[in-house]
């Protein structure tokens, strides 16, 4: 099954005082169409 959307190693930090606060630490997300959940929520173009 091919991933419709894939984001890898997402990081986000915000400045705080003399340093920073890391709020996302290497998050990886993947969305796939099909499978047990059917095609609901999948983008169809054309």
Task: For 17-46, write each residue's pLDDT tens digit.
Answer: 999 999 999 999 988 776 665 556 566 665
**Pick from 26, 36, 29, 23: nearest CA to 5:** 29
What is the rounded CA–CA span in Å between residue 23 and residue 7? 16
14 pLDDT band, cuts 50/70/90, is very high
What is the rounded CA–CA span in Å between residue 34 and residue 32? 7
The pTM of this model reads 0.53
CA 31 to chain centre: 8
What is the rounded CA–CA span in Å between residue 18 and residue 45? 48
């Amino acid at each position: 099954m091919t991933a419709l959307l894939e984001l890898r190693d997402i990081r986000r930090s915000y400045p705080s005082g003399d340093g920073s606060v890391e709020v996302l630490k290497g998050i990886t997300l993947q969305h796939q169409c099909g499978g047990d959940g059917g095609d609901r929520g999948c983008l169809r173009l054309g």
